[in-house]
Amino acid sequence: MDPVRVRQARLEAGLTLAQVAGDDVSRTFIHLVEHGRSRPSKAILALIAKRTGKPVEYFLPRGASGPMPNSEIADDLIRVAGRLQRAAATERLTASEREAVKVLEVTLKQGARFIRAMQRHADGAAIALIAALASAI
């Protein structure tokens, strides 16, 4: 179980420690799980997954040889775009730097939408589109 992913899922869902814990465990326990100081049982991990809207597999470490599922890549791109936006908001940027950040943020979000579209249309059209985009670069 990846403790960082527990925290990420909770924050993405907009939940407090108490909301994830509910009446089943303490919020302190969820805090300890998020910091890798405690390990939840399978039942509690399933509860965390349900409350955060993530599959249980989301919290399990990926095998070294296993590829990251496309849905996770799309989620990561959206997460990075949000972090970039928040980081830029705290910095003093020139107009051109703000524009560059905006372009990067939009590009990350478009990449996430493209990956999700590929999942929905997992036929040869997505592969052909990728090949066309790659040849245009």
Query: What's the gap between Cα 8 and its chain centre?
Result: 7
The total domain count for the chain is: 2
Q: Which domain holds residue 27?
A: 3-59
Tally of residues, the chain = 137
CB 89 within 8 A of CB 97: no
pLDDT at 127 over 60: no
Q: Is residue 64 domain-resident?
A: no
Query: What are the residues whose beta carbons fall under 8 Å from the beta carbon of 49, sequence distance 6 or more?
Result: 9, 55, 56, 58, 59
Provide the 10 A C-beta neighbour count for residue 85: 15
**Per-residue pLDDT reduced to its tens digit, 78-90:** 889 989 998 899 9
pLDDT at 65 over 50: no
Residue found under tokens 């066309």? 132
**Per-residue pLDDT reduced to its tens digit, 1-30:** 888 999 999 999 999 999 999 999 999 999
In the prediction, which pLDDT does 64 show?
A: 40
**Same-domain pairing of 75 and 132:** yes
Specify the DSSP class assigned to residue 67: P
**Same-domain pairing of 44 and 76:** no
